[in-house]
Each structure stands twice: as structure tokens, then as C-alpha cells.
Structure 1
Amino acid sequence: MIPRTYRRYVAIGDSTTEGMDDPDGRGGYRGWADRFAEHVARAQADGGSAALEYANLAIRGRTTARIRAEQLQPALDLRPDLATVVAGMNDIMRTSFDLAAVARDIHAMQHALVAQGATVLTFTLPDPAPVMPIARPLRGRVLALNDEIRKVTADSGAVLLDLGAYPVASDPRLWGDDRLHANSAGHERIGAALAYTLGLPGFDDSWAAGLPPPAVRRRHQVIAAELAWVRRHMLPWAGRHLLGRSSGDNRECKRAVPAPVVLLDP
């Protein structure tokens, strides 16, 4: 038995909720939110319950304040009984990072959806340093934000997946080439972790299991990989931000209208 039957799931957030870098094979992205929706829909179908509708309002590059300003009311208007609120990484990477303001916005979004009757899930952020060594100075911000996410989630009544507390979440092999987004295997783990957190049948804590020891790379291989990453990803990102631009400029969310989740053969 599933703990509750859900009619409509709405996801709000930034690029990780949008699904980058988990290609869907049709020119777009799948991601953990799509995978989580499928897990919920399948559990309900197996239990003879109604189909699940799903909308994803997330847009890459959005700060927490913009997610609250642009996505919260449309999410509330859809009246979901299941929602995910994941935000903060785009704030952490800005010089204007305001921990208290980000925490307030996350709490406000969680509280509004919970007050309307939704089960709301969120998760803490993985430590970026093992994935992107150049981001080590940001580690303190991530840890501080995670502490705030734990506090506001406990207060709002949302459900927390403490993803940042598990070392496997920072294994570079679960991250995409840009080192900012999970790859398909990483998104799959997050989707399974949320399903387990929600108490869906058939899911356990195996998502948290570590990977086998990585192959040892020679020094020249490490240097070549770092230089390639700087050229392909860091420099374009830095250039956009110097110009005040975002990867999400002029983009719309991928799934604004709730639609039934289509289940493929398992």
C-alpha cells in the first residue's frame, strides 16, 4: 500500500528540477522530477489507484527569489497534492548570496504549498568540492544553506531528503560533464531516493550505496580533463554572468500544463 494516493504533482525549481543533464532522447531533459513522477504513478497504478498528473515549472538559472516570484503562485493555482521545492545553488554561486533571504524564500514556498494541503518534498545540496575542486570555496555556503534547509523544512511541515549528508551524492561519476548537474545515473538515484523518502513500495535505501573505487588517473589525464572543463563550461558560464545573462533567459518551463504520467514498460 502506498501511504497516500496523489492526484497531481507539481515541481518548482531551477535546472536540477528541469532535469539537466539527463537527456530524454527527444532533444530535451528527463531528470529526477520526471523519474519521481513515474515512480509515484507506477505505484498508484499497481495499487489500482487513479492516474497521476504532473507539471514541471522549473527553469534553469533561476535564483530562489525568482522561483518564489515566478513559480509559486502558478504552482498553487494548480492545487497539487504532491510538490517538490528545490532551490539555492544559483544563489550560492553569486557574490550577492544572502543566506537568510534564501532560507526565508524556501520556507515561504514550502509553507504555502503545505498549507494548501500538499505533501512537499525537498532535499539538501551535495558538497560540490569532490565534483568541482574549483568550487571548494563555496563549500561553506552549501553546508550553511543545508543547515537552514533542515530548519525551515522541520518548521514548514515539508518532508526532507538529506541528500547532502550522503557521500555518494558527491561522487563525480554521478555528475554530468559540466559538473553542475547530475548525469542520468545521478538523476535516477535522486528519483529513487525521493520515492523511498515518500514511502513508496519497492524502494529501499540502496540508492545511498557507494560506487566501486574509481580507476586511478594519471596526472596528465587529470590536467587535460580540467583544462577541457574550463574551456567548455567554466569560461562560457563566467562570460554570461559578467554580462548579466543566464542560461534560462527567454526560456519557458518544460511542462506548464499538468498531464497524466505515461508509464512505459518497466
Structure 2
Amino acid sequence: MPSGESVTYERYVALGDSQTEGLGDGDDVTGLKGWADRLAEHLAAANPRLQYANLAVRGRLAGQVRAEQLAPAVALRPDLATVVAGVNDLMRPKFDTAEVVGHLEAMFAALTETGTRVVTVTFPDIGKVAPLARPLRPRMYALNAAIREAAARHGAVVVEIAEHPFAVDPRVWTADRLHLSPLGHERFASAAAHSLGLPGADAAWAHPLPLPTEPAFAGLRAARAELHWVAAHLGPWIGRRLRGRSSGDGRTAKRPQLAAVTAPPG
């Protein structure tokens, strides 16, 4: 939660995977936005001199984020960094909580040792977002608990997305249930801004969404929706993993150098 302090950030660097790159908020033709870009706009509203870089690349595991993004991030001398990774690891057959969080903690340590304020996040209940993923719940709970402990050891800010029901509302996710929708990215950015105590940020991000105008799928329709999700989204994802491929193969960071940010009007 915000401490009430007023801090002006000059250099913000985002590290992570597809969520931080912005998948689900725009596209590769018109451009991706995403929660990190939106947070940068919050920061720029408080300090028009803000410089922002986004090193995230889709499909990256926590160890890859550390190996590929940490050194460039430190070299940019940020005073604020966000580190969000681990879900791609969680969905792999061989998942080791200690190993994944070890990579995250190494990034927390390296950044905070240079005086950088670090922000990270806990993840929502994957079994409520995608019912067929319920067997992964224990992994998610263990990952969140370990992230909290590692963050506490280094004074990192934890945005507690996991604690709020809105985070599993289908409307904050795209059809693939793996990436945030524009609404989800907006909520995530607002949560980070509030956790940092930025001017104008409040707790509205945590409020439940209005009741849906259409009833949720039930019975046979729900089962058909799950089968469609498996065929259209989960199946191709598993296929890439079995072939040793990633959606991020051949891709590089969309914003590898610090650059100015234009705050949105209003």
C-alpha cells in the first residue's frame, strides 16, 4: 500500500514477459501498449521529464528475463523498475518454485543495490481464470508466497493483484485467458500507480467490476467454451512448447532505450 511519501521518478525500466510487453492491449501492427506503458504515463503526469524503457519480450521464462534483461536494465540506471515474470515457468511440466523465485530475487537484489525502487506483483488464481488450469493452483499459491518473501527481503513493492476478485473476471482477460485485456492492463497500471503513491492514484482499481449485462456460460455452453479454448489457445501453446519454440523467438524489446513519455491529455 502507498506510504504517503511523494517521490518523483526520472528513469523507469520495465523487465518481464508478454504481460509487460503489452500483449492483449493493441497488436503487433498498430502497436502494443500494456500496463507498463500505462504506468509510464502515470509517472509522466507527475514528472514530464520521465524517461522510460521496456525490455520485456513475450514467452520469456524468469531465468531468461534475468539473463537477457537485467544487465541492460542496470546499465540504464533506473530509479524505478518493475519485474514481473514467472507465469511462463509455472505452466511448464517441470516447475521449481525455488528456482524461479531465485531468478526474481536476484533481479530484486541487483536493482535495489543500485538504489532502484523495485515493483513486482502477485498473480491471480489461474484456476478461476481458466478452469482447466485448476491443477496449477498449488504452484500459483507457492509462487505468490515466495515472491512476497523475496520482495520483503529487498524492500520491493508488491502489487497484490492476487487478493482482489476483479482479477479473475473474464473481462480483464483476452480470449486466450493468458493475457490481460485493455481493461486488465489499465487496472494493473492503476494498481501499480496506487502502490507507489503517485499523485491522483487511488484504490478504485481494486473495486469489483459492474455486474455483466450477459449471464455467464453454464452447463453445456460452459463445457463447449472450455473445449474451444483448448483447441484455439491452449493446444497451440502446448504445441510450441513440445517443439521447443516460443512466441518470442526472434523478437527483441520494443523499447530498449530510455525515451521520453507523453502523458495522455487530462
- TM-score with structure 2 length normalisation? 0.94
**Corresponding residue for residue 26 of structure 2:** 23
CA distance in 1, matches of 2:163, 2:35: 18
| Equivalent in 40, 45, 53 of residue 42 of structure 1 | 45
The alignment status of 1:117 with 2:120, answered yes or no, reads no
- Give the match's secondary structure for 1:116: coil
State the identity %.
52
The alignment status of 1:146 with 2:144, answered yes or no, reads yes
| Equivalent in 81, 100, 105 of residue 79 of structure 2 | 81
What are structure 2's unaligned runs of at least 5 residues?
none
**Corresponding residue for residue 246 of structure 1:** 246
- Give the match's secondary structure for 1:6: coil
**Corresponding residue for residue 233 of structure 2:** 233
AA at the equivalent of 1:10: V
| Deviation string, structure 1 residues 53-104 (Cα, Å, up to 9, x no partner) | 1000000111111111110000001110110001110110111211111111
Q: How does 1:67-216 map to 2 (within 5 A)?
A: 67-214=65-212, 215-216=215-216
Misfit runs of 4+, over 4 Å: none
| Deviation string, structure 1 residues 102-132 (Cα, Å, up to 9, x no partner) | 1111111011111111111111111111110
Q: How many residues align structurally?
A: 261
CA distance in 1, matches of 2:86, 2:222: 29
Q: CA deviation at 1:203?
A: 1.2
Contact 2:53 2:257 in 1 (8 A): yes
CA distance in 2, matches of 1:262, 1:25: 21
CA distance in 2, matches of 1:95, 1:157: 31
CA distance in 2, matches of 1:254, 1:25: 10
- TM-score with structure 1 length normalisation? 0.94
Contact 1:2 1:43 in 2 (8 A): no
The alignment status of 1:261 with 2:261, answered yes or no, reads yes
Q: CA deviation at 1:154?
A: 0.3
Q: CA deviation at 1:265?
A: 1.6
CA distance in 1, matches of 2:210, 2:225: 21
Contact 2:41 2:264 in 1 (8 A): no
**Corresponding residue for residue 48 of structure 1:** none
